[in-house]
């Protein structure tokens, strides 16, 4: 049974989701405060975190930032954020901080389950359908979902990892923003299309890449992005 951690100060919602997720072979643990949430995070090591934005003590954005900054402790924990705000800007902020998906309140429990399944599928996907050729300076261990840059392990979010693997599967192919959006589906289309550039920029930063002299990801102005890593 998958262990799911919910950090949300809405006790009634927590109880509802606990009962609903049980139908889908998921065991939910609810924390009403960030402090309790971090205690459970270390104790149960969940497969996924459902994180509300509006919380006492500190907001969900800060919690997401802290988890991503301490990936050596929390690993590549998938994060699905909840918010009562409908503004696209708020949702983009969550994705920029490393969240894997975003769901505005109120929502149908069935949609939440579908999004959880999508995130977990992406997190466990071995990408065995297409070969990844060796790239100079870049080593990807698919089974461990581990990426090394010049021998140093990188801390990538699920979406950053997914994007890198996609690029490496299709070297020298120019992807438009729409194509990237469709390939990395699971996130709201309108939202993700506006966050593609940010995601690529974040991945570039972690790869220590530049737009002027790209080692791995090249911007094709007016079209999209191409992976140009030199093959062994």
Per-residue pLDDT tens digits for 110-161: 999 999 998 888 776 544 446 788 899 999 987 777 899 999 999 887 778 8
| Residue ranges of domains in the chain, CATH in brackets | 2-124 (3.40.50.2300), 138-227 (1.10.10.10)
For the stretch 62-91, pLDDT in tens is 999 899 888 778 877 899 999 876 566 666
Counting Cβ atoms within 10 Å, is residue 71 exposed (0-12), middle (13-18) or buried (19+)? middle
- Judge contact between 2 and 48, C-beta under 8 A: yes
Count of C-beta atoms within a 10 Å radius of residue 182: 13
Q: Is the pLDDT of residue 190 over 70?
A: no
The arithmetic mean of pLDDT across residues 192-204, rounded, is: 79
In this predicted structure, the answer to whether residue 229 has a pLDDT above a threshold of 50 is yes
Segment 44-48 shows an average pLDDT of 94
Structure tokens at 46: 């969940």
Which of the four pLDDT bands, split at 50, 70 and 90, describes residue 51? very high
pLDDT for the residue 19: 95
User: What's the pTM value of the predicted model, to 2 decimals?
Assistant: 0.67
Greater pLDDT, 182 or 67: 67
Rounded CA gap, 134 and 137, in Å? Answer: 9
Q: Is the dihedral of CA 223, 131, 148, 142 positive or negative?
A: positive
Evaluate whether 99 touches 203 at the Cβ level (below 8 Å). no
Single out the residue of 214, 170, 102, 207 nearest to residue 93, CA to CA. 102
Q: pLDDT exceeding 90 applies to what percent of the chain? A: 51
Please report the pLDDT score of residue 124 as a whole number: 66
Q: What's residue 194's pLDDT?
A: 62
- State yes or no: pLDDT of 191 exceeds 60: no
What is the model's pLDDT at position 17?
96
Q: What pLDDT does 181 receive?
A: 76
* pLDDT given at position 151: 93
Q: pLDDT exceeding 70 applies to what percent of the chain?
A: 88
For the chain, give the mean pLDDT.
Answer: 86
Q: What is the pLDDT of residue 208?
A: 95
Q: What is the DSSP letter of 229?
A: P
């Amino acid at each position: 049974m998958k262990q799911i951690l919910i950090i949300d100060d809405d006790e009634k919602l927590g109880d509802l989701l606990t009962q609903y997720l049980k139908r889908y072979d998921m065991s939910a643990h609810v924390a009403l405060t960030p402090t309790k949430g971090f205690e459970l995070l270390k104790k149960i090591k969940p497969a996924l975190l459902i994180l509300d934005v509006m919380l006492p003590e500190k907001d969900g954005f800060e919690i997401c930032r802290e988890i991503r900054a301490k990936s050596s402790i929390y690993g590549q924990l998938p994060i699905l954020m909840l918010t009562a705000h409908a503004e696209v800007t708020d949702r983009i902020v969550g994705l920029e901080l490393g969240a894997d998906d975003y769901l505005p309140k109120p929502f149908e429990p069935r949609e939440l389950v579908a999004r959880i399944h999508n995130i977990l599928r992406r997190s466990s996907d071995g990408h065995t359908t297409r070969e990844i050729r060796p790239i100079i300076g870049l080593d990807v261990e698919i089974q461990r979902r581990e990426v090394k840059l010049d021998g140093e392990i990188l801390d990538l979010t699920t979406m950053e990892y997914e994007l890198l693997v996609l690029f490496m599967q299709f070297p020298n192919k120019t992807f438009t923003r729409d194509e990237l959006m469709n390939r990395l589906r699971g996130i709201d289309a309108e939202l993700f299309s506006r966050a593609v550039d940010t995601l690529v920029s974040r991945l570039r930063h972690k790869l220590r890449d530049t737009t002027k002299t790209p080692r791995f990801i090249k911007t094709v102005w007016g079209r999209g992005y191409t992976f140009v890593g030199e093959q062994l």
